[in-house]
Chains A and B, each alone.
Chain A
Amino acid sequence: MTDAGSAADALPADPAPVAPERDLFSKFDALIAEREALLSSGVRDPFGIVMERVLGPTTAVIRGRETILAGTYNYMGMTFDPDVIAAGKAALETFGSGTNGSRMLNGTFRDHVEAEEALKAFYGATSAMVFSTGYQANLGIISTIAGRGEYVILDADSHASIYDGCKMGDAEIVRFRHNSVADLDKRLGRLPTEPGKLVVLEGVYSMMGDLAPLREMVAVSRKHGAMVLVDEAHSMGFFGRHGRGVYEEQGLELGRDVDFVIGTFSKSVGTVGGFCISSHPKFEAMRLACRPYIFTASLPPSVVATAATSIRKLMDAQGKREQLWRNARHLHGSLKALGFRLGTEAADSAIVAVILDTQEQAVAMWQALLEAGLYVNVARPPATPAGLFLLRCSLCAEHTADQLERIVAMFADAGRSVGAIN
């Protein structure tokens, strides 16, 4: 146990610098310089926020100050649900703090199965596969389903986890213009007929909060013989009759129109984890082939227990759904009336993206909001489309009318202070 201590003593006090051409960190110089320039202008680090205490689904203490949270993905406000907390506590006490293993070997406990059963009931599917994060669900499913000589066709504005899934796999990757049905049709039409194809879409695109025309895109995909995967991370619980997502809202069905749905526990469900839903008869084979499922530790028992309880409650959460939509319309309408440029014309989703001119303006306004007691997300390229700088708000069903009024007032003041509105 003394190795670490003696090794530290043996390190030279003043190590020789690494020559820049051999220093693997040299490639990050531009990134480091950009960050230093931003911070030297006196603003706080937008990527260094610490929540010192969390008071509920919509408030936390940041630097000693009570702050309204309008930049989390806690859409349905399930993180402090008493039943969810009780299920997590019980699992923690009964099954311990962790699984010490892979889903494939010793890491599948009762509540991993229970979470998958809850998902099957929620989506009306024959298979559900729980991953340790949503990122890994996309990484694993996309890289495994499409193999060498086959094709993955993805929207240019896809989430990083979709791009990374493409990069990890052996398939040929083709992009189409964001939400362009005609471009998707054209690209599919140029591909050889025989090889298998997977078209990857998202119900809600998380940067701008816009929706995909899934009905038209699925029709085009089917015409060219492609399978379809839809990531519904930002829609679970409040789109479609059963809350299954944008695909359900647009009248599409699992199995008939959509082959795979990817989702996450870290948004509406209120914990962490990812999943893939399917009714494909051979889907269970994925458990034997999917490396991001096999070669990682499974979720802790308390996490899957909270997920299972939360998913069951989301099946019957009509009141929360309606409140979330009221809140989204309220904030979208108010910010639009103030003169802000927004990512969508109407309140299409629970994300309201405010478009700003520059990184400096976005960060200055973000800081003004934080100092006034409101947390929202800063988003910048390459995460954003078309090089945009955004302040992104996401609504929660638990935001109160009073909180929304305060959010709007803080936006009005901060927007005027940086010249984003008059």
Chain B
Amino acid sequence: MSDRQSILDAVTAQIEPFNKKGVAVTEATTFQGDLEWDSLTVMDFVAAIEDEFDIIITMNMQAEIETVGQLADAVAKLKG
């Protein structure tokens, strides 16, 4: 299994506890549009991802991330 795939799997697993609507999550799933997360949920989720990978995703970076796939790419780059 590639590193990118294992990151994507871990990200998807972290989404589940916050996935109140039971949306089927793919790389194209958007946090705001599909998952309909508010800013508080986003903050909790980002903290969970940061702890999982021991990274910091700055608010500047968060503003650029719309989809699950983009988040996996950002995590891969940060872990780099």
Contacts and interface: CB of A to CB of B under 8 A. Distances in A.
Chain A interface, DSSP helix/strand/loop, else mixed: mixed
Contact of A173 (B40, B47, B59): B59
Contacts of B56: 174, 187, 190-191
Contacts of B38: 387
A177 B59 contact: no
Contacts of A177: 43, 47
A175 B43 CA distance: 9
Interface residues of B, number: 12
Interface residues of A, number: 15
Given A173-B60, A382-B39, A386-B40, A190 B55 contact: yes
B47 A174 contact: no
A173 B56 CA distance: 10
A172 interface: yes
Nearest to A183: B47
A172 B60 contact: yes
Contact of B58 (A174, A183, A386, A387): A174
Contact of B59 (A175, A183, A191, A387): A175
A173 B40 CA distance: 17
A386 B40 CA distance: 7
A174 B62 CA distance: 10
A121 interface: no
A61 interface: no
A218 interface: no
B62 to A, nearest CB: 9
B55 A173 contact: no
Contacts of A290: none
Interface string B38-50: 1110010001001
A175 B46 CA distance: 10
Interface in A158-193: 166, 172-175, 177, 183, 187, 190-191
Interface of B: 38-40, 43, 47, 50, 54-56, 58-60
Interface of A: 151, 156, 166, 172-175, 177, 183, 187, 190-191, 382, 386-387
7 contacts: A156-B43, A173-B58, A173-B60, A174-B58, A175-B59, A187-B50, A190-B50
**6 tightest Cβ-Cβ pairs between the two chains A and B:** A173-B59, A172-B58, A190-B56, A174-B58, A173-B58, A172-B60
